[in-house]
């Protein structure tokens, strides 16, 4: 299918990476953001190569690409939010959590974990 679309044949190995390796990375919690980005890229290729004709179709049970959309947006959410506290990434200090000061609200002060290597503070005026 990749070659029929005019792409080089080595791009087909990306299917293996996006469908097998990246989900295993998420399950293990190892390089979670990279795994989520690979899954999102894989889903964009799948939608673009196979499901583009169904992009705006609404069936009896809803959007025709509901499952593919769920995989895409879940991968984007994991990529943006990062791994959980029980992941391998968190144990090695690469989780990079975003915290908001409860007293000042979202427009107030935020910090990034010092374990990630960059501590930052911003104060709204």
Is the domain of 32 the same as that of 72?
Answer: yes
Residue 119 sits in the same domain as residue 68: no
Instruction: With respect to residue 3, please indicate whether it lies within any of the assigned structural domains.
Output: no
Residue 113 has pLDDT above 90, yes or no: no
Encoding tokens for residue 68? 């593919």
Strand partners, 98: 112
In a domain, 56, yes or no: yes
Each residue's pLDDT tens digit, 21-74: 999 999 988 899 999 999 999 999 888 888 787 777 777 777 778 888 899 999
Q: Answer yes or no: is 1 within a domain.
A: no
Residue ranges making up the domain that contains 119: 95-125
Domain check: are 75 and 104 in the same one? no
Domain total of the chain: 2
Q: Is the pLDDT of residue 9 over 60?
A: yes
Residue 90 falls within a domain, yes or no? Answer: no
CB neighbour list of residue 21: distance below 8 Å, 6 or more residues apart: 35, 38
């Amino acid at each position: 299918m990749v070659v029929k679309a005019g792409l080089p044949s080595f791009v087909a190995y990306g299917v293996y990476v996006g469908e097998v390796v990246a989900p295993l990375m998420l399950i293990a919690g190892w390089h979670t953001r990279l795994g989520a980005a690979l899954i999102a890229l894989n889903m964009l290729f799948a939608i673009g190569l196979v499901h583009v004709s169904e992009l705006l179709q609404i069936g009896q049970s809803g959007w025709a690409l509901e499952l593919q959309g769920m995989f895409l947006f879940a991968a984007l959410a994991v990529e943006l939010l990062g791994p959980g506290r029980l992941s391998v990434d968190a144990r090695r200090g690469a989780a990079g959590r975003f915290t908001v000061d409860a007293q000042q609200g979202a427009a107030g002060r935020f910090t990034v974990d010092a374990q990630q290597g960059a501590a930052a503070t911003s104060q709204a005026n």
